[in-house]
Structure 1
Amino acid sequence: MASTTASERSGTSRGGGTLYRGDLGMWSWVAHRITGVLTFFFLFTHVLDTALVRVSPNAYDSVIETYKNPVVNLFEVGLVGAVLYHALNGIRVMLVDFWEKGAKYQRLMLWIVVAVWVVVMIPGFYFMMERTISELGH
């Protein structure tokens, strides 16, 4: 039985150990999964609250009224951010998978995804929160 040293077991991970320790690609993968799950749960909740209108229109109106809360408005901004990241990163993942040079440019494409996300979310945050901020000021 041959013994192996830690450097031989480390493979190509940057952390120097046997576990993958959080390169940028891993974090984009984790964020993609999290935003996908959050989007799924939003859609599930949306289907349920919309179905409520057939069961009890008064209950539906009550639920919709709770959505006018400033905290819910922040969650809506988070939802838009999650959906936007998930969509942009999904395009990047498809390019990495199906474009012959995709793997070579995957890191650059991730930074482009982040840049586009920030450029869209800054004015998006402002316009989505504008009503809430003005109501809190009065």
Structure 2
Amino acid sequence: MSKKPRETANVGAGLWKATGMWAWLLFRISGLILVFYLGAHIIVISTSQFGVGGGTFDNVMNFLDHPVAIVLDVALVVAVLYHALNGVRIILMDLGVGIHRHKVIFWSAMAVVVVCFVIFAYVAFSYLANDVGPWNGALGVAS
């Protein structure tokens, strides 16, 4: 039997350059982020209601006014937007819509993610700048 010649010296070279591979990897990462966030959210909210471990609901809300928590909220929005729109893209692919144009659909979905993120960030940070909104004590929690 004759062996097929290798196309490249490094088997697997270039696999990470494909748009589909990055879409797949980021979809899995964003899914894991959302699963861990949901678990942490349930644990924190359920324990804070009863004051378990010295934490109360007011303490949790005060922590959420911290800039680190706000940046994490913004990152969560990015993960949700990416995961949702990439999920729609995958459903379209499963239905046979745009199979041969998957790169265009992926980059279009990413453009929508960026636009939605810019709108969210503008609104969120304008609330912060004006000391109103869901952050900065507007929840009725004393800072």
TM-score, structure 2 length as denominator? 0.78
Q: In structure 2, give the amino acid aligned to 1:122.
A: V
Structure 2 match to 1:85: 82
- Counting matched residue pairs gives 127
Question: Equivalent of 2:11, from 7, 18, 21?
Answer: 18
Larger relative contact order (Cα-Cα within 8 Å, sequence gap ≥ 6): 2
Summarize deviations over 1:75-130 as a string: whole Å, max 9, x none: 101100110110001000010012x3431121111011011111111121111122
Amino acid aligned to 2:118: I
Query: Could you list the runs of 5+ residues in structure 1 that have no partner in the other structure?
Result: 11-15
Q: Which amino acid aligns with 1:105?
A: R
Q: Cα RMSD between the aligned structures?
A: 2.1
Q: Distance in 2 between matches of 1:53 and 1:130?
A: 29
Tell me how far apart the structure 2 counterparts of residues 42 and 21 of structure 1 sit (CA, whole Å). Answer: 27
Amino acid paired to 1:83:
V
> Residue by residue, what CA displacement relative to the aligned partner does 1:8-61 show, whole Å, maximum 9, x if unpaired?
xx6xxxxx8431232111111111111111111111111111111442185232
- The structure 1 residue matched to 2:70, chosen from 60, 69, 73, is 73
CA distance in 2, matches of 1:52, 1:67: 16
Is contact 1:70-1:132 (8 Å) kept? no
Give ranges in structure 2 of 5+ residues lacking alignment: 132-143
% same residue = 29
Are positions 1:119 and 2:115 aligned together?
Answer: yes
Moved over 3 A (4+): 131-135
Conserved? CA contact 2:16–2:22, under 8 Å: no
- For residue 18 of structure 1, what is the amino acid of its counterpart? V
